[in-house]
Each structure stands twice: as structure tokens, then as C-alpha cells.
Structure 1
Amino acid sequence: MPFIDLETLRFDAPERLWLLVVPLALVPLWIWQVTRRAGDMHRLRRHRSVPLRERFRPLGGLLFWLCVILATASTIVALARPIARTSLLRTAGVDLVILQDASASMHVQDVEGNRWQRSMRFLRILGESLSWREDRIALALFANLATPQIRLTTDPNTFFFFLDHLDQAPPFRLEDDTTWDTNIETGIHWGLRLIDKDQELHGPSPNSKVFVLVSDGQAWSGKVEESLLAARKYGIPLYAVGVGTSAGGIIPAPANVPTGEELEPGAEEEEPVFVHSLLDRSSLRDIATAAGGYYFELDQQTDREIASTIISAARERAGTRGTEERTEELYWRFLMAAAVLIVAALLFVRDRGEMWIHTAGAAAVLFIITELMR
């Protein structure tokens, strides 16, 4: 909640403040009625005898009129257009660096579509869960090699443009040997380079930085421990999101495998080699734990639950961007207080007909105020 500096309070329409004379004049009348009611109750208890003990509400219907008086005063202050300087402590955002596995095993069809398409649907939910006001996102794909696709950006169009154009298949071809390997070391290395480059271009950021690894954990290579140690030196946790199933499936053969008709004369046709790939939960869980994060698995929780958990954990680590000061109109706060008081006043009305009369009157007053505030 913003802090309001009352010393800077002023009114754009101070000529309307004289109307406060009306509720101020009603306050002594209300106090006199309270005193009179107390005297009546005292006399009744002394001079009236009944078989059962009578209980009287101390203020009775006078509470209704107190709420009306206060609501009237609050409405008049709102009509005077109060303005003050407010201070709001701005919390830093989140920097999500997504490390997306694009190796050959992501073509396996053991989930809806295949693992790559399933990952893209999750990344879309992850992007939709960000506020994009202070939050930023970056994306790097990796197999044996890694390629950054999106640098840290606050532009959601850049991120969703990538998802729209590469949601069917990864850019790494099955015909390339480098696609048939999953090198997490290279992925984390490029993730750190993205952060270093952003600091070089824009300076240090108070945003909380998080790696989100989306992979099946199949056929890890590289010195993962060294990369994780480097990430921990940066203070960046890694959250692993597993995609695939324990049963797994067959990786499709590359399109350039020669058939019998394409072989040279005298060459023998080789039997196709089928590679079976399954979700390696234990590797992903160990990597997430070593990097100070957690392991999640698609289709074990909803995508939105996983995205919200990751973003919420990152926000808890975020710093602040300092105090933001601005001039703010406060009339809506007084109108809200008047509305609450009117609703509270209706709770003290015992006669239903009287309640509807007061409700109609309050609606008419609200209409008049709305027209005046335009």
C-alpha cells in the first residue's frame, strides 16, 4: 500500500468544503440524542417492572445516523477533490532464463504431440503467468551445442513470436550429429552469458534471476557440476521441469538414412538402429537439488501451478527498485469509505420499509455525486 504524505494534502475544489458545516452541525444533535436515550433507559430500569429482564441496545438506531453523518462528511471531502503525494516501495521483477532442451529425444511421442510440442505449451503458460511490467524472460536452446534465441526482454511479443513459429519442431535437425546429445553444461553456460551480456548493456538489475531447465534428462554430457557451481556463485537457482514418461518411446530416424534403392552398387543395406528414450527423473532431480531449486514434472501438476510456483519462489528473492513518488487523487478513497459506511448503516435499520427508503436515497445521492465528479 502506498504511503500518503498528509503534509502535501491539498484540494482542487476547496470551495466545496464549506458543506462540511452540515455534518458538523449534526454531530452535537447526535450526541444530544445519545444522552437523551441513555436517560430514558435509566428511567425505564428504575420505574418499570417486568417479569423478564429487558435488554436495550446502548445506541439503537442512532448508530445508523452516525454512519450517515460520517458518510456525508466523507462524500463532501471527496467532492473537494483531495490530492496528496504518495510514496510506493517498488519491488523488483523476475528474470527467467529458460534453458530448453532441443535434442533428438525431444521428438519422442510419449506425450500429447511430442516432447518438444508439450514443452512449448508449457512455456506459453509460463509466459502468460508473468506480469511483464518489471519481469523479463530469455531463452536458450541446447543439444550438444547451445544457441541463445531471445535475450532478456520485457516484450512479450518477442517471446510469443518464437513460440508461434517454432511450436511444432525444434530448429536443430535430426540429420545433424550434434542434435543427438544433451549437454546441460553448455546450456547453463549460455544462460550465464545472457545474464552477463545484459549487465554489460544495461547495468546490474535488482530482478531475481532464475534458470528454468525444460528437458527429458536423456543422455547428459558435459561437466554439469562445474556449470552448477558457476550458477550458484551467481546466486541463481535452477528449477528443472521434466517432460516425457517413464515408458518413453523411440526417437524418429533421421530423414537422410539411405534406403536400399539409394545405396551405391555393391553396398550392403544397414539395419536401422532405433534409439529408445525415456524420462530420466533422477538426473533432473539431482541437478535441481544441486542448483538450489526444485524438480517439477509436466502432467503431474497443471502447467499453471508449476509456472506460479516457480515465479512465486523467484519473487520472494527479488530486491527493490527504490521508492516511487507521485501525486495521486484521493477522492475515490473517501467515496469508498462513504459506501462502506452506508452499507454498515443499513445493518442497524430494523424496519424493512425504512431500509428500502434509505437504500433508494443512497442510490440517488450516489447518482448525483457521479454526475458532479465528471
Structure 2
Amino acid sequence: MFDLIDLASVRFSEPRSLWLLVAPAVLVLVWTWRLARHRQDARRFRSRRTLPVRERVSLAGGLLFWLCLVLATACTILALARPVAAVSLARTAGIDLVLLQDGSASMKVGDVAGDRWQRSMRFLRVLGQSLRWKDDRIAMALFARIAAPQVRLTKDPNTFYFFLDHLALESPFRQADDTTWDTNIELGIYWGVRLIDKDQELHGRSPNVKMFVLISDGQAWTGEVARSLALARDRNIPVFVVGVGTAGGGIIPEPPPRPGTQPALQPPTPIHSSLDRASLAAIAVAGGGQYLELDRETDREIANRIVDAARRRAGTAGIEQGVRDLYWYCLFAAACFVTLGGVLLKERAELWLHTAGAAATLLTIWTLTR
């Protein structure tokens, strides 16, 4: 967020402290008189002293240190008056992230820490921490063969983290249900579009830029996926794909037998599942986004890449007015003048005076910030 300070709008919250500026004003007059006397003495000295080479006489002698000290005092008094100014803030437009989380049976494979589902939930928590939650909003839908919206577009982080806490261990789709043993990405994308349409129906058109974040272990490319991606492209919604799992994969665990049923005499053939990078990358390319993969980069890096890409698409949402406290600028200027005065010192006695002045300045700053 970029801000421009309007100097014409500067005002003081404690204007009664400004009368103290009389002291540095008087000291500046005294300093000017001393500078004039120094220049007269220098000219008189040159006229009465004869040397074989030209002698250089400093312009102000040791007076520059005192000028810096007077200016530092003036800046400190201005800080005591608590100056504030109006600022124009170029506000970045918000983003709407719609999370499309795979909840099919293959997400129970334990080829990553915990299993693929738990690994996804940990990443989504980091992604939520990367948002500003002022103008940014987030929604979430789960899908297997069917889809189930979990969170409508919201800017309340408590709502989002509430669902993450309850979904942290396992998918709400039961492993024993036949509908869980299928991955229907096209339906997940379709429901993502429905979430955006419903939000627009309830709250009107939002200026936020939209983006889908698909978290899955893969699905074979089909015409239905292409049609869902075309629907997202028509609405200018890119699809970023985050792969979870490994190329080696693992066995999908069988659901526990239903109560009251006898276990099968012949156990079912184990089903192996591995990360399908090719199909996920194809979805990302067709969706106008990028393919990213958990554990290739850190969760924070992946989340930042997604959010940064959305911010670049968002642009700015206009200029808004705010108020900026300027007393820290005054204290910084005072510290700079004190430091500059120390650089200009030549005599040890003056250095001790400078040290005392710096200590007094630090004491003032400590008093103001208590």
C-alpha cells in the first residue's frame, strides 16, 4: 500500500507545546550573530597575519555543531506537539480465493506426512495466514464423485479456521461410501463457479479478483474437465493447481466393515494411487494458472506465489484518505541532526557536550514512548 503525505494538511494534536519553539528560534538568532562575529574575526585575522602560503579558515568554526543541536531541539519540540497529516492511500483491490479440495478415497494414502488429506489441511492453514482478511475473502468446496460446499465467500478468518479445525484429520466423505471412490474435478470447478454466482446474487458484484485453487492428487483428463475449465475462463477465473502426494504413491486403505456384516471371504484387490502430475499440470495450463506441488517448495512459498499472482491481477481499488502520525519522523530528524553534529566535532570538550546532548535526546524519546 503506497501513501502520499499531504503537507498542507499537517496539524498538531498538542499545539500547546509549540510555544517552546521560541527557545530554538532565539538560539538561531544568537547563532547567526555568532557566525557573523566569527566571519569578522576571520577577515581581521587574515589581514593582520602574513604567511608564505594561503591559510584556510573554516567557514563556521565549531558553530555547525551548535546549529545541529538547536535544530535537533526544534525537531524534538515538534514531536512533543504530536504532528499528524492526511495521507492518500493507493489501496490494493482484494482477492477472492475459492479452494477446491479433493476429498476422495485416494486422499487417505499415507505417502506424505500423515496422509494426503491432512497434508492438504496444513497447507490451507498457511494459505489462510497469507491473506490480509480486510478485503480478501475465501471460500471452500470439497469434491469426490459429488461436491459439497463448506464455506461461502467470507472475510472472517474465524469461520475458515473453524472448518479447518474440524476437517483437520479426515474428509467428511465416508470411506465406506461408493461416491467417495471417485475424483470429479469438473464438478468441483462447477461448484466453485456456483459459489461465486451465489455470492454475487446475495451481495452484488464484488470488485475483488477471483481465483480457484485446486488441491488434488490427480484425475485423468476428460471432456467434462475441459468444459468446466471453459466455464471458469469465460468468467476470467484462473485455476491454480496444487498437487499433493508422491510419484511412488501408496495403497488406498480399505474402509472398516459395516456393523453387522460379515467380512468378505476374498479380500478386495488393493488399489494403488500415485500423484498424477501430468493431468494436474494440463488442468493448470488449460485453466490459465500454474501447477505447484507440496513438499517441492515450502508451504509458505507456495501460498505466497498464489497470493502474489492474485494481487498482480487485482491492481488497485482507488485512493482512500487516512491519517499518519508524524512524530516519529520528527524524532528521526532530531537523531540525524545530533549524529551530524557529532561528525563535525573537533574538540574533546565539545564531544562531551555532544554526548550529554545525545543522552538528553534519548531520555526525551524514552519518555515519549513509555
The TM tier, using the shorter chain, reads: 0.7 to 0.9
SS of corresponding position for 1:138: strand
Following the alignment from structure 1 to structure 2, what is the Cα–Cα distance between the partners of residues 54 and 171? 90
Q: For 1:207-262, what per-residue CA distance to the aligned partner results, in whole angstroms no more than 9, with x for missing partners?
A: 22221111111445561111112212222211111111111111112323899954
The match for 1:290 is 286
Following the alignment from structure 1 to structure 2, what is the Cα–Cα distance between the partners of residues 140 and 125? 18
Does 1:185 pair with 2:182?
no
Does 1:16 pair with 2:12?
no
- One-letter amino acid matched to 1:154: K
Deviates more, 1:28-37 or 1:291-300: 28-37
SS of corresponding position for 2:275: coil
Unaligned runs of 5+ in 2: none
SS of corresponding position for 2:8: strand
1:176 to 1:58, Cα distance in 2 relative to 1, 3 A: farther
1:327 to 1:122, Cα distance in 2 relative to 1, 3 A: closer
Q: Identity percentage over the alignment?
A: 60
The match for 1:281 is 277
Deviates more, 1:218-227 or 1:35-44: 35-44
Shift of 1:160: 1.4
Find 1:336's aligned residue among 307, 332, 337.
Answer: 332
The match for 1:359 is 355
Following the alignment from structure 1 to structure 2, what is the Cα–Cα distance between the partners of residues 361 and 73? 13
The match for 2:343 is 347
1:197 to 1:369, Cα distance in 2 relative to 1, 3 A: same
The match for 1:171 is 172
Following the alignment from structure 1 to structure 2, what is the Cα–Cα distance between the partners of residues 249 and 38? 93
Following the alignment from structure 1 to structure 2, what is the Cα–Cα distance between the partners of residues 132 and 100? 21
Following the alignment from structure 1 to structure 2, what is the Cα–Cα distance between the partners of residues 145 and 221? 16
The match for 2:88 is 87
- One-letter amino acid matched to 1:117: Q
SS of corresponding position for 2:282: helix
Q: For 1:314-352, what per-residue CA distance to the aligned partner results, in whole angstroms no more than 9, with x for missing partners?
A: 111224343322444433332232233323433334567
The match for 2:308 is 312
Following the alignment from structure 2 to structure 1, what is the Cα–Cα distance between the partners of residues 150 and 106? 20
1:138 to 1:63, Cα distance in 2 relative to 1, 3 A: farther
The question of whether the paired residues in 2 share the 8 Å contact of 1:238 and 1:292 is answered with: yes
The match for 1:217 is 218
The question of whether the paired residues in 2 share the 8 Å contact of 1:184 and 1:221 is answered with: no
Following the alignment from structure 2 to structure 1, what is the Cα–Cα distance between the partners of residues 56 and 123? 64
Following the alignment from structure 1 to structure 2, what is the Cα–Cα distance between the partners of residues 347 and 159? 56
The question of whether the paired residues in 1 share the 8 Å contact of 2:257 and 2:263 is answered with: no
Shift of 1:354: 4.7
Following the alignment from structure 2 to structure 1, what is the Cα–Cα distance between the partners of residues 190 and 85? 49
- One-letter amino acid matched to 1:152: L
Shift of 1:360: 3.6
The question of whether the paired residues in 1 share the 8 Å contact of 2:185 and 2:219 is answered with: no
Deviates more, 1:281-290 or 1:17-26: 17-26
The question of whether the paired residues in 1 share the 8 Å contact of 2:99 and 2:213 is answered with: yes
1:300 to 1:38, Cα distance in 2 relative to 1, 3 A: farther
Deviates more, 1:125-134 or 1:296-305: 125-134
Pairs aligned (count): 366
Does 1:159 pair with 2:160?
yes
The question of whether the paired residues in 2 share the 8 Å contact of 1:206 and 1:320 is answered with: no
- One-letter amino acid matched to 1:302: T
Deviates more, 1:24-33 or 1:199-208: 24-33
The alignment's C-alpha RMSD in Å is 3.3
The question of whether the paired residues in 2 share the 8 Å contact of 1:218 and 1:277 is answered with: no
* TM-score normalised by structure 1 residue count: 0.85
Shift of 1:9: 3.2
Unaligned runs of 5+ in 1: 264-268
- One-letter amino acid matched to 2:110: Q
Shift of 1:107: 0.8
The question of whether the paired residues in 2 share the 8 Å contact of 1:79 and 1:373 is answered with: no
The match for 1:75 is 76
Please show how residues 198-217 of structure 1 align to structure 2 within 5 Å.
Answer: 198-217=199-218
Q: For 1:177-211, what per-residue CA distance to the aligned partner results, in whole angstroms no more than 9, with x for missing partners?
A: 21111111111111111111222222222222221
Following the alignment from structure 1 to structure 2, what is the Cα–Cα distance between the partners of residues 55 and 228? 80
- One-letter amino acid matched to 2:330: F
1:148 to 1:61, Cα distance in 2 relative to 1, 3 A: farther
Deviates more, 1:194-203 or 1:295-304: 194-203
